Structures are given as structure tokens and as C-alpha cells.
Structure 1
Amino acid sequence: MQTQTKVAAPAAGAGLAHNSTVFGILIAVSLVHLLNDTIQSVVPAIFPIVKESLSLTYTQLGLIAFALNATASVLQPAIGLYSDRKPQPYLLPLGVVATLIGVLGLAFASGFYSILASVVLVGIGSSVFHPESAKVAYLAAGARRGLAQGIFQVGGNAGQALAPIMTALIFVPLGQPGILWFTILAAAAIVIQLFTARWYSGRLHSGAVKKRGSRSGAALPAAHRRKVGFALSVLMMILTSKMAYLAGITSFYAFYLMDRFQLSVQEAQLCVFAFLAAGAAGTFFGGPLADRWGRRNVIWFSILGALPFAFLLPYVNFTTSIVFCIIIGFTIMSSGSVNVVYAQELLPGHIGTVSGLFFGLAFGAGGLGAAALGALADSSSIDFVIKLCALLPLIGLLAIFLPADRKLKAWALEAEQREAAAVKTE
């Protein structure tokens, strides 16, 4: 079956074939993901600047990162659960409004607590964006869910990759007031989200999106629920270890390079940019590779491909560290979209809940990791923190307990059949 590349108007949403891929909508949500995560990346990007100008400690920097991520971690699962039962398309642009206010606060923050309040607002905006936009990507995916999640998430990873470039090109010469330029990005994101919300609303009116009842999934036998729950727990532990590692690299690796090799802020941030840019490429290619070769196979590739290089990274010279950062970024992030698709297929019909849970977990793990690593850096050293981070990817070996794709599809089919039967009897 051929895919459609034309964006359907809301009124025509019902006419889309079930397996059609709506690339226009996928590109729209990916673009907003880029804008959202670019704005969010302002927070770690200003760390080298505000640490000096506002006399902040590593612990305070870790707490700022934790405030941003913890806000999103708590709110995203709740928003995802609510939106599964009562979809709210126009929450999409409203969430970006909170982000816009947070950006303004960051530009004028004069101390630790004002920065903390501003990043909470940015976190609220991300909390609204991620579960609802992931659901839009799922609806626009058709049969190509890995590709769709790859397109959606590559925007976010590209936005995160811009953080070290922003530090080098914007915040070093302009300082904290340079954040004001990002209000333009927030305004652009609001406009695009209005377009996406209109398409999403059309799908709701066409009946393409089914609201979940409070008894959804009650018909599943206890043994099935235990198997799914165990697989989700393993997936969460893998994701937690990965996000803690990413928090260590994005928040503190530049300081490590500056301390060990006596680099400037700009030079150190280039290495972090290489890591994040390679991660964005890995996220994009991981999705279609998972469609072709299997979800679990790509998850294994992301773990085994990154492990030896992550372990050796703290011990190599600067030139080699750039090469290793590129390899680690590409491999470890190749399962970025696959983890979400895998979880969605474990719990079909709960797309918003699962997306909110996993994006929220990613934010929470990153935030806790940043806070803990920041405290360790103050009490011990940056060198110790980076060497500790090198061990975190070992937790990914728990992937041996994940069910194979064939079993995953069988579980999903069983759940959908029982759900359909339950709906008929109501």
C-alpha cells in the first residue's frame, strides 16, 4: 500500500486509510518538538554562564536541571492518562504559552530561585507537549510506527543538540539576555500547534480516536498483566540508566573537558554537540530500522554498540573523545523512539498514558541524575562523576528479559481482542 504524503484537512480525516502515513503532520509535530526542546535546552546551555555570573554551585545547577525534569516527570503521565479518556487538542498550543512565559522569566532571572521558578514553567509546557504530540504522531503513523516516532523524536534530539552551540554562539557573547531571542521560537511553535490541534480535532470528530473508559484493560487476565508489567519495568530501568547517562554528559561533560584539557567553554561544548547531533541521527535511523529488523534488536544494538566506548570515554585524549562521543551518541540514542513504540505496543489503546509515562520517566531520570551527579561533583570531583557515568549503560543488559517482537505482537493482538469484546458487552 502506498503512503500518503499529503496533509489531510480535518474534515477529510475520516477518509484516511488506516495504514496511511500523514507525513505533513509528522513533520509539523517534529518541528515543534525541535522548537520545544531547543527552548528546553536553554537551561543546561546557560549553566557555564550563570555559574559564574550568579555564583551558583554544581549542586544548584543540578537542582535547576532537576526542577525542569521533575516537573515534566510528574505531570506528563497524568496528562497522558487524562487525554486518553478525554482528548484535548487545544492543550497543544496552550502548553507552549507556559513555555513562552518561562523563557521570559529565564531572561530576567536574577538568582537561583527565580531561575528555578522559570524552569518549572518550561517544564509544564513540555509536560503538555510530549504526551499529546506523541499521540498525534501515533495517529499519523499508519503502519510505520517506528518511522513516525523516529521523525517525531528526531526533532527533539536535534533541539537538544543545539544547546552547546547556543552556549558557544549566543550565551558567551550575549550572556543571559540572549535568552530573549528564544521567545521567537515559542511564538512559532504556538502557530504550528494551532495547525496540528485543528487536524487532531478533526480526527476526534471523525471517530478515529477512541476515548478510553475507566474499565479499559480490566478484561485482561492477571497472568497477562503480570507479563506486561514485568516487561514495562525492565524497559523503564533501561530507559532510566540511559537518561541518567545522558544527564551526566549533557550537564557536566563540558566541565570535565575544560578541567582535564584546559579547553575554553566553546571548545568543550563542541564535543557535547558532537554527542547530541549524533544522537539525533541515531534517533531518526533507529525508527525505520526497528520497523525492518525488530524493536528488541535495535534496543540491543543501542546497548551493546555504546557499552565499550562509554566505558573508555573518560580515559582517552580529546580528539579520540570526540570520535567516541559521536559513536556513543548515535548508538545509545538509536533506540530513543523504539522504546516508546515498544511500550505503546505492550499497552495498545493507552497511547497517551504510555507516552506520558515514558517521556515523564525520561525527564525524571534525567533530572534525578543531574541533581545526584551535581552533588557528587561538589563533594568529590568532576573526574569521578564522568567515570561513574561510564558504568551506567551496563544496566541496559537487562534487555535480555524483554520479550521478542513476535511475542509482543501476540500480546497486543490478545489485548485488542479482549478490549473489543469488552466494548461490545457494555
Structure 2
Amino acid sequence: MPRNKSLVLLSVGHACVDLYQGAVASLIPFFVAERSYTYAAASGIVLATSLLSSVAQPVFGALTDRRSIPCLLPVSTVLAGIGVALSGIGGSYTLTSMFMALSGIGVAAYHPESARVARLAAKGSHSSMGWFSLGGNIGFAFAPLLVAVVIATGGLRWSPLLIVPALVGSVLTLPVLRAVEKAPRTGSRTAAAAGRDHWPSFVRLSLAVVCRSIAFVAMSTFVAFQVRQQTGWGTAAGTAALFVLYLGGAVGTILGSELAHRWDRVRVVSTSYLTTVAAVAGVVFVPGPAVYLFVALTSIGLYVPFSLQVTLAQDYLPTRVGTAGGITLGLMVGVGGLTSPVIGRIADATSLRTALAPLILMPALSWLLFRTLPEPEVDKRLLGDPSGDATEPSRV
């Protein structure tokens, strides 16, 4: 557990924000049950959220490259919560999609700046960045539980209660803002001027993230339905599957950050993707309660690379840290949201198993893209250490 107070608060705030990413998928079964949405219509809501989030995150990343905007942290947290809280009001599909898109913009505004601030607070530690990412994973994990308690009790009309975590998260970021204002601002700009961007490696990493996004977002959208079919159990089985999926992400994030201290990040990420191929196949084809084991393994395998891919992207583009984080984090959600309606239409036309089967290829493609990537050196001045040596040879 990190001892840095700012990093702890950022981790908790990250949980409050990413809870709303998890809430989108968690609300889908309730929209289907109360409003009789088809698979395609339900996945269209995921598309509305993911599309705006993926487009907006690089924009916010570019803005934070020009100047730090720490006030984005509390403002974006509240925005993410408002969108989800209003999504259950009324029965209009258009309004529901718009509210979810609003939440996506809030999530997009939060991540590039929070990743920049967290990395400075972590001082380059993979474990500390892993704890920051863990906060988001915990938010994901508890989203289906919170949604189930609130919505199963009072129906979609109770969705305004879901604003509470956003209010808590926004308050917790206020001490971080004060710490950021007091922190020295030397080092990062000088390092940026001295750094050398390596776009080929960044592009390959981004393509691998695209494949990872397709697999994970599709799983988070449809795993509740898949597990219900595989087990023959009710709605609670699907909610439990989402909880396992998101909780496995928390385990994978910490595991990845710890492994990165023993081996280089590229090796850890590529190995994780290779082992995830079999796990995804298990989710698609294994019947009965054993499917929960494969849901957990899939989540762990897809989340071991999570924080490592963000820091790798920042190291491949040392002069554009905000842009690198924004694009990487945006792709993790956005492209998967774009493909979810396609998967939904295939599922409506054939079967859910047929629609999910191509996902087995996604981690395999990520492995192929990652396996020969170089491991970059880290310039300490990017982490707020003005005494860091910027002349060390780079492996990229």
C-alpha cells in the first residue's frame, strides 16, 4: 500500500470515477429487463459512452501537455456521476444514450490529468502506479454491486442515488489539488524538451491496446448474458460474473506492477496476452459454474498490462505524456465500444457464443504486436526529479 497521501487519495478518487465506467455495463441488463432493449440496442448505449470518451481523452491529454489542469479532477468526477445518475430517468433511448455519453466525457476528462499527477506522485514506481490503477479496478468491481443494490431495490427510477460516489470522489481530490499547487514545477518541461519520441513503438502499442479493448469491453457488455446461458441461472449469476470480471482486473493490475519489478514491462505484458487466449476460449465454450474461473483468468490476463501500457506509452512519447496517456486510456475503452454493437447484432442474428468466439483472437494479436517491442528507459526528470540524468542511452 502506498504511503504517499496524495497517491492514496488519487487511488480512491480513481475508484469513484471508474465506478461509472463499470456502471454502464452493469445497467445494461436492467435496461434490457425494464425497457425490452435488444442486444444491439443495449450495446449502442455502450457505444455512445465509449465513442465520446475515446475521442475526448486524447483532446484532454493534449491540453494537459500544454499546461496542468488539476481542477479537472473534481469537475470530471462529478460529470461522470451525473450522466449515470440521470440515465434511469424516463424511458427515452435517446436521452439515456446522451446521459451515458455525458458520463463518458467526464471519465475522459479525468484520466489524462490524473495519470500525469499520479505518475509524478509515484516517482516512477511501477508498484505505486499499480496502486493508482487498482483504485480504478476496485471502482469497476463494485459497480455491479452498487447498481444491483440500488436498481434492484427501486428500479431504474432510483438511479439518481448513484451520484453519491462522485460527490465523495470530488471532495477527496481537493487535498491533491493543494499538494499539486505547492509542488515544484521544474524538471518535467526540461525533460520534455530533451526527450525523444518513438512513434513506431507507440503505434504498435496502441494497436495492441485496441485488440485488448475489443476483448474487454465486449466481455464487460455481454459476460452477464453469457454466464447466465452457460450456467442456466438467473440475473444474479450475471451480476456475479461482472463482479468477478472487475475484481479479477484489480488482481491483474497489482500482479502486473509487481512482475514489472522482476522483468521488463514488455515481457510481462506480452506473456500475459499469450496466456489470456486460452482464458477467453474458456469463457466462450466452457459450460457450468467453471465459467467463473475463466472469467477471472480472462480479467487478470487483460489487466496485467493495464498500468504498464500507460507508462510504456508515456515513455515512448516523453514530450507528449498527456497525449500518450489520453490516447492509450481512450483506446482501452473507445474501440471496444465501437465494436460492441457489431457483436450485439451478430448475437441477435445467430447466438451469443458465435458472436463472442472471435474475441479469442484479440489477445493473440496483442501478443504478436508486443512481443518484439523495445523496453524504453525512463527519464527521471519526467517524474519531477530535476537531478535525473537525461543522457542515459534509450533502448528505443
Name the TM-score, length of structure 2 as normaliser. 0.89
Whether the aligned pair in 2 keeps the contact of 1:307 and 1:394 (CA below 8 Å) is: yes
* CA shift in 2, pair 1:352/1:237, >3 Å: same
Whether the aligned pair in 2 keeps the contact of 1:86 and 1:211 (CA below 8 Å) is: no
Q: For residue 233 of structure 1, what is the aligned residue in structure 2? A: 203
* CA shift in 2, pair 1:148/1:155, >3 Å: same
- Determine whether 1:343 maps to 2:313: yes
Instruction: Indicate the RMSD between aligned Cα atoms, in angstroms.
Output: 2.6
Post-superposition offset of 1:332: 2.2
Q: Distance in 2 between matches of 1:377 and 1:166?
A: 28
Q: For residue 368 of structure 1, what is the aligned residue in structure 2? A: 338
Q: Distance in 2 between matches of 1:229 and 1:149?
A: 23
* CA shift in 2, pair 1:60/1:358, >3 Å: same
Whether the aligned pair in 2 keeps the contact of 1:85 and 1:211 (CA below 8 Å) is: no
- Determine whether 1:384 maps to 2:354: yes
Q: Distance in 2 between matches of 1:104 and 1:257?
A: 27
Whether the aligned pair in 1 keeps the contact of 2:113 and 2:322 (CA below 8 Å) is: yes
Letter in 2 for 1:343: A
Whether the aligned pair in 2 keeps the contact of 1:27 and 1:152 (CA below 8 Å) is: yes
Post-superposition offset of 1:367: 1.1
Letter in 2 for 1:358: T
Post-superposition offset of 1:373: 1.5
Q: Distance in 2 between matches of 1:119 and 1:229?
A: 33
Q: Distance in 2 between matches of 1:368 and 1:343?
A: 22
Whether the aligned pair in 2 keeps the contact of 1:299 and 1:399 (CA below 8 Å) is: no
Q: Which structure 2 residues correspond to residues 124-163 of structure 1 after superposition, within 5 A?
A: 124-144=105-125, 146-163=126-143
Letter in 1 for 2:161: W
- List alignment gaps of at least 5 residues for structure 2: 382-388, 392-396
Q: For residue 385 of structure 2, what is the aligned residue in structure 1? A: none
Q: Distance in 2 between matches of 1:101 and 1:51?
A: 21
Q: For residue 62 of structure 1, what is the aligned residue in structure 2? A: 43
Post-superposition offset of 1:31: 0.6
Q: Which structure 2 residues correspond to residues 245-394 of structure 1 after superposition, within 5 A?
A: 245-394=215-364
Q: Distance in 2 between matches of 1:80 and 1:362?
A: 15
User: What is the SS of the residue equivalent to 1:207?
Assistant: coil
Q: Distance in 1 between matches of 2:307 and 2:6?
A: 17
Q: For residue 8 of structure 1, what is the aligned residue in structure 2? A: none
Letter in 2 for 1:409: E
User: What is the SS of the residue equivalent to 1:108?
Assistant: coil
* CA shift in 2, pair 1:104/1:402, >3 Å: same
Q: Which is worse superposed, 292-301 or 336-345?
A: 292-301
Post-superposition offset of 1:182: 1.8
User: What is the SS of the residue equivalent to 1:318?
Assistant: coil
Post-superposition offset of 1:275: 2.3
Q: How much identity, in percent, do the aligned residues show? A: 26
Q: Which is worse superposed, 167-176 or 305-314?
A: 167-176
Q: Distance in 1 between matches of 2:378 and 2:127?
A: 21
Q: For residue 167 of structure 2, what is the aligned residue in structure 1? A: 187
Q: Distance in 2 between matches of 1:286 and 1:68?
A: 27
* CA shift in 2, pair 1:4/1:289, >3 Å: closer
* Count of paired positions: 385
Whether the aligned pair in 1 keeps the contact of 2:270 and 2:371 (CA below 8 Å) is: no
Q: For residue 94 of structure 2, what is the aligned residue in structure 1? A: 113
Letter in 2 for 1:207: R
Letter in 1 for 2:360: A
Q: Which is worse superposed, 135-144 or 389-398?
A: 389-398
Q: Distance in 2 between matches of 1:265 and 1:167?
A: 13
Whether the aligned pair in 1 keeps the contact of 2:251 and 2:300 (CA below 8 Å) is: yes
Q: 1:216-270 CA distances to partner (integer Å, 9 max, x unpaired)? A: 66995xxxx5xx2221121112111111111121111211222343210101221
User: What is the SS of the residue equivalent to 1:171?
Assistant: helix
Q: Distance in 1 between matches of 2:330 and 2:163?
A: 24
State which of 8, 19, 28 in structure 2 corresponds to 1:27: 8
- List alignment gaps of at least 5 residues for structure 1: 6-22, 419-426
Q: For residue 73 of structure 2, what is the aligned residue in structure 1? A: 92
Q: Distance in 2 between matches of 1:327 and 1:410?
A: 31
* CA shift in 2, pair 1:90/1:162, >3 Å: same
Post-superposition offset of 1:273: 1.7
Q: Distance in 1 between matches of 2:160 and 2:153?
A: 14
Name the TM-score, length of structure 1 as normaliser. 0.83
